[in-house]
A and B are shown apart, each in its own frame.
Chain A
Amino acid sequence: MMGGYVEGIIAILCINLIFAYGIYLTAASGQLNLGGAGFQAIGAYVAGVCSNYFELPIVFSVLGGILGAGLIGFLISFPVLRTRGVYMVLATFAFALVISGIILNSEFLGGATGMVVPAYAPVEVLIFSTFIIILIVFWLMASRVGLAMRAVHDDDVVSEIMGVNVKGIQVFSFTLGGALAGLSGALYAHHYSFIEAQYFNAVLSIFVLLFVLIGGTQTAWGPLFGASFFTLVPEILRLGDTEWRYVIFGILIVLMMIFRPQGVVTRTFVHRASKIFYRTAER
């Protein structure tokens, strides 16, 4: 068995990875979603209600969390997609605040005291789910849908002229992104057995968007790097000087933003890395 500390880190890494892929899908088609915590909260609370009130097995409560967050993502994508750039960021941010407000004021959902989620998901379930999600996103990004998403990110007018249903692609990525963020929330709820609205706060939304932007939105490797970096590096730094670890971490982030403004992992980076990999493998 894994030690408790390592297991804890792996669990949060899995949750962050799935969460990051949710935000990545919207970012890959050119939309910035700063309402990540809102979608994660919906997933967590739908799963929590399914488990707590209806005593459904984990599979169904997690599925409920995915569908709930996906449905809300689909519905709000229409008003949100009417906005652009910084206004879209603000609209999604406001959405997360509304969700948090609803949870805090709802007695049914436990309000500020939170909610107990009885069914427990061990870390193995989280690892398996993460593996599947990574595979699905890589698959999607290698398909024509993924190509169209990246094209829309670069130039929506030309994409439309090329025959891409731009609105359809944007709604699709927003919906699927919401569903993945919901899945990460549902897994969080079942692993930690307790959820509270305060956890799904603005800082969480900012962090997950940073995972994606610093990792890079051009390939599916970006969030893998971004989420791993943000989850693991603060833990590695804990081994050294604990007082300064967040300062060092902050400096690292600023340096990456200066030297890799397109994200650490770009398409060109992946292309060159794979060339070197195949050359070494041939030897």
Chain B
Amino acid sequence: MAVPILQINCITKFFGGLKVLEDVSFDLMPGQRFGLIGPNGAGKTTVFNLLSGVYSVDSGSVILANQDITNLPIRKRIGLGLSRSFQNIRLMPHLSVLENVMMGQHCQANRITEMIKPIGWTKNNRWRQRALETIKDAGLEVDLDSTVSELPYGVRKKIEVVRALMSKPSVLMLDEPAAGLNPQETIELAGFLRGISDSNVTLLLVEHDMNFIHAICEKVVVLNFGLKIFEGTPKEVNRNKAVLEAYLGTSAMESSGVT
């Protein structure tokens, strides 16, 4: 029996008096492609923020590769293999494309000599080479010196995925990676993500596009009002009554004759 790479045990989160997540648990196996879905306000992004440490967990625990990271400082998590992107793109607006991508490698620069080396002056340093390789693999065709705030939405979305990959994560969490992409770009992204997962990176995706989820994910967890209402394969999710109720509402289901 393989050991899960990420274990989420009964996590609960309050915002004031509002319970936004209640006893949510699920395990991610190494190399698995995992989808986290649910209606708006279900608590999907809150799960990401709890895992990356932006919010603190009120109760429950998070175990990454057998290490309890529940209360680990935010900046230590990426070094242990947890990397993420954001629903509303959060690239550094005044940095160039290449500089943004190179920020993703920051956790690997452990020595002081690596921190003070003038990487901006030399073209063939290893940091830059690896950034260029990953950008090429991701099929990102863009002027690397352009400022990110000047670029179209879809391109910025892709840069965020590339930046998240630069830390060589074991678990890659992507918050709506396909949002704002055209159908062709979505297909390319799905292929790229499957390739990443083949190299034993575990994917945790929050996504609204069910076709995208079907194309990629092996397993899906559905959240509704902070509760886990379903865990299973993408095929099963379409037939699950609780999930349909959550998305469509009880009255809509009754009037359409679904029982």
Q: Count B interface residues, CB 8 Å.
A: 37
Interface string of A147-166 (1 = CB under 8 A from B): 11011011101111111111
Is the CB of B242 closer than 8 A to any CB of chain A?
Answer: no
Q: Is the CB of B119 within 8 A of A161?
A: no
Known: A142-B119, A143-B116, A143-B117. A161 touches B109 (CB 8 A): no
Q: Is the CB of A271 within 8 A of B115?
A: no
Q: Is the CB of B54 within 8 A of A147?
A: no
Q: Is the CB of B147 within 8 A of A143?
A: no
Is the CB of A267 closer than 8 A to any CB of chain B?
Answer: yes
Interface string of B101-127 (1 = CB under 8 A from A): 011101101000011111111000000
Known: A153-B94, A162-B104. A144 touches B109 (CB 8 A): yes
Q: Is the CB of B147 within 8 A of A268?
A: yes
Interface string of A261-276 (1 = CB under 8 A from B): 0100011100100000
Is the CB of B145 closer than 8 A to any CB of chain A?
Answer: yes
Q: Is the CB of B54 within 8 A of A161?
A: yes
Q: Is the CB of A163 within 8 A of B90?
A: no
Is the CB of A141 closer than 8 A to any CB of chain B?
Answer: yes
Task: Give chain B interface residues in 205-251, CB to chain A under 8 Å.
Answer: none
Which A residues touch B60, using CB under 8 A?
Answer: none
Is the CB of B34 closer than 8 A to any CB of chain A?
Answer: no
| Interface positions of A (Cβ within 8 A of B) | 139-148, 150-151, 153-155, 157-166, 218, 262, 266-268, 271
Top 7 nearest A-B pairs (CB, nearest first) are A163-B107, A142-B120, A154-B92, A142-B118, A163-B78, A160-B74, A163-B106
Q: Is the CB of B116 within 8 A of A140?
A: yes
The CA of A163 and the CA of B82, in the complex, are separated in Å by 11
Q: Is the CB of B115 within 8 A of A144?
A: yes
Q: A150-B92, A163-B76, A163-B79 are in contact. List 7 more A-B contacts (CB 8 A).
A: A147-B120, A151-B95, A151-B106, A159-B103, A161-B52, A266-B94, A267-B95
Can you show 19 pairs from A to B with CB atoms below 8 A apart?
Answer: A142-B118, A143-B118, A144-B106, A144-B115, A145-B115, A147-B103, A147-B120, A148-B106, A150-B94, A150-B95, A151-B106, A154-B95, A158-B86, A158-B90, A161-B54, A161-B78, A164-B106, A262-B94, A267-B96
Chain B residue, CB-CB nearest to A168: B75
Which B residues touch A140, using CB under 8 A?
Answer: 116
Is the CB of B93 closer than 8 A to any CB of chain A?
Answer: yes
- In the complex, which of the residues B54, B76, B96 contacts A157, with contact meaning CB atoms closer than 8 Å? B54
Is the CB of B7 closer than 8 A to any CB of chain A?
Answer: no
Chain B residue, CB-CB nearest to A163: B107
